């Protein structure tokens, strides 16, 4: 168990009835805390490098002091290795991230992180190249090595990871249509299918539901995220995340506001977002899941190494994020393509759950002159 002071340890000891003096800092070992996930779809790759802290006074007070969590000096690199040879090395730069939640225990909203930049991979994991080789995309089949020299050589932290690759989704096909309703008030499930022909061991799926609010000639885009779930997967396997029909309509109801200035709403489409995580990330998440046991000790997991008798916690691993835009329609000439089918559209516009929310259909297939559907905008 860790000997250094943590907020949770402080809270535990503070609430325990104990008359003996406990010297928490007697066996403290300098500890690096490293978190980094490379993603070939990203253009900025962040790695957080901090230190476990100990000091006099309240741990809650110390946690609010940024310097308590930073090393004096960090020199960090990430190297790309192909067929055993280093092909590129990035010197990580530090930056201040501004968007940390200020409601947490630790200092906020600013916090330090380290980063390097590349172009994201394109469709089908295509590598985008640059005249500056360091800016070309990460290579999906390469290995990446992380190294941090702490405080001028006092100790080093290192780790390596392969990139997650080979994730695809048949749901992204333009011919796929979500179907959430058969008849008025009769709901059916649809889903997001994932094909894992690579090395992911955990996967998740989300839908960003996109719609527009119209006030006269002014159109305002709105969106909310529908989390479909997370599951363990095996390499060279497939998985489908269910999207319940009734849930689709319930979520729309809970994500729109009553506003008398709105003339109408129109459905725009979905962003389909799937993410696959590497085996090391899967192991790390599995070990750190909340325990239902009364046991006070839990195993620890890290794929990082450290020198000179120091300690390291955290993970350097990878994930692959794929985002596909599925529009409600593409053009009048392709009226057969639609993100949701006609029955689902009718239910959205006039069904018992969402029928009072001013949705109408602007899909060309629903607005054929002289044959307009009852729920068509025109």
Radius of gyration from C-alpha coordinates of the chain: 26
3-class secondary structure, 84:
coil
> Tens digit of pLDDT per residue, the chain (378 long)?
343 333 333 232 233 344 444 444 556 688 999 999 999 999 999 999 998 865 544 444 444 445 568 899 999 999 999 999 999 999 999 999 876 554 543 455 678 899 999 999 999 999 999 999 999 999 999 999 999 999 999 999 999 999 999 999 999 888 899 999 998 999 999 999 999 999 999 999 999 999 999 999 999 999 999 999 999 999 999 999 999 999 999 999 999 988 999 999 999 999 999 999 999 999 999 998 876 665 556 678 999 999 999 999 999 999 999 999 999 998 878 878 899 999 999 999 999 999 999 999 999 999 988 889 999 998
Cα–Cα dist 28/24, whole Å: 8
How far is residue 224's CA from residue 206's CA, in Å, rounded to a whole number? Answer: 10
Q: What is the pLDDT of residue 17?
A: 40
pLDDT of res. 4:
38
Identify any residues that bridge with 131 across adjacent strands, giving them in sequence order.
none
Phi and psi angles of residue 14, each rounded to the nearest 5 degrees, phi first:
-65, -25
The torsion of the CA quartet 179, 180, 182, 184, rounded to 10 degrees, works out to -140
Candidates 240, 165, 164, 230; CA nearest to 203 is 230
Tokens of 50: 């901090």
Two tokens, residue 255: 């994500």
Instruction: Quote the pLDDT of residue 50.
Output: 92
């Amino acid at each position: 168990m860790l000997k250094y002071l943590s907020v949770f340890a402080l809270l535990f000891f503070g609430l325990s009835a104990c008359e003996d003096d406990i010297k928490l800092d007697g066996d403290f070992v300098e500890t690096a805390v490293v978190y980094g996930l490379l993603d070939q779809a990203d253009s900025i790759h962040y790695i957080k490098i901090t230190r476990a802290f100990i000091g006099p006074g309240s741990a809650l007070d110390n946690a609010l002091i940024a310097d308590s969590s930073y090393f004096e000096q960090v020199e960090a690199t990430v190297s790309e290795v192909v067929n055993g040879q280093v092909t590129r090395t990035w010197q990580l730069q530090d930056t201040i991230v501004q968007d940390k939640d200020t409601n947490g225990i630790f200092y906020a909203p600013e916090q330090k992180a380290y980063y390097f930049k590349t172009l994201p991979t394109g469709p089908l994991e295509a590598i985008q190249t640059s005249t500056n080789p360091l800016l070309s995309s990460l290579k999906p089949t390469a290995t990446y090595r992380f190294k941090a020299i702490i405080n001028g050589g006092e100790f080093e932290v290192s780790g390596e990871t392969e990139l997650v690759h080979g994730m695809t989704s048949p749901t992204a096909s333009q011919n796929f249509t979500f179907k959430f309703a058969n008849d008025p008030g009769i709901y059916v499930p649809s889903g997001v299918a994932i094909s894992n022909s690579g090395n992911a061991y955990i996967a998740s799926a989300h839908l960003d539901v996109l719609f527009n609010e119209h006030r006269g000639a002014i159109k305002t885009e709105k969106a909310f995220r529908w989390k479909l779930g997370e599951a363990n997967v095996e390499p060279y396997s497939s998985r489908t995340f269910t999207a319940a029909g009734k849930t689709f309509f319930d979520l729309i109801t809970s994500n729109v506001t009553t506003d008398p200035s709105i003339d109408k709403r129109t459905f725009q489409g979905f962003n389909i977002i799937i993410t696959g995580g590497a085996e090391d990330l899967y192991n790390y998440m599995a070990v750190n899941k909340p325990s239902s046991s009364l046991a006070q000790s839990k195993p620890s997991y890290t794929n990082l190494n450290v020198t000179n008798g120091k300690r390291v916690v955290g993970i350097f691993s990878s994930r692959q994020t794929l985002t596909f835009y599925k529009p409600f329609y593409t053009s009048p000439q392709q009226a057969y393509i639609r993100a949701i089918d006609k029955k689902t559209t009718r239910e959205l516009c006039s069904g018992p759950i969402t029928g009072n929310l001013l949705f109408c259909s602007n899909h060309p297939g629903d607005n054929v002159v002289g044959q307009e559907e009852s729920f068509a905008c025109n």
